[in-house]
Copies of this chain bind each other. A is one copy, B any other.
Amino acid sequence: MLYQKKLRFSTTGRGTYNITKQITEAIENAGIKFGICHIFIQHTSASLILCENADPTVREDLNAYMARLVKDGDSLFKHKDEGPDDMAAHIRTILTQSSLSIPIDKGKCDLGLWQGIFLWEHRTNSHKRNIAVTIMGE
C-alpha cells in the first residue's frame, strides 16, 4: 500500500516549527499499519530534523549554535544575491536533513518519547514550504 500527500507550511522566519501533529495525522489517514513514513522538503534553504520535543531551550540553544557554526554574511561567501542569510541557509540545510524516514508500528508514528518532527526555516524572512509525505507499508 502507498499513500502520498502534499503539505504546505507558512514560516515566519528563521527557527524551528513543530510539524509532528500534521505528520501523525497523515499516517492515521493513510490506513497503513506497518511501514515507513517518508517526509521530504522541496527546498534548499529549509530542512527537517528530529529534535527533543519538551524543553524549548533545546531549540533555542540549537538555533544559537547553528548561527555561530554557519555565520550569516561570512566573508567566505560569494553567493549573497538574496542577502547575508542566503548561503548560510543552503549550508545549514546540507548539514541537517532534507528528508526523514520514520517507522510506522500498529498504525502509529513510532517516534521515541522525546522525539518531535521539526521544519527548520533557515531564511530570516517568511516563506511557504512544501513537504511531500509518502507512506509505504501494509
Contacts and interface: CB of A to CB of B under 8 A. Distances in A.
A112 to B, nearest CB: 3
A4 B61 contact: no
Interface residues of A, number: 59
Number of this chain's copies in the assembly equals 3
A90 B52 contact: yes
Interface string A34-57: 111010111110000111100101
B36 A134 contact: yes
Main secondary structure of the interface of A (DSSP, over half): mixed
A138 interface: yes
Interface stretch (A7-15, A21-29, A103-111): A103-111
B115 A43 contact: yes
B38 A55 contact: no
A2 interface: yes
Nearest to A46: B112
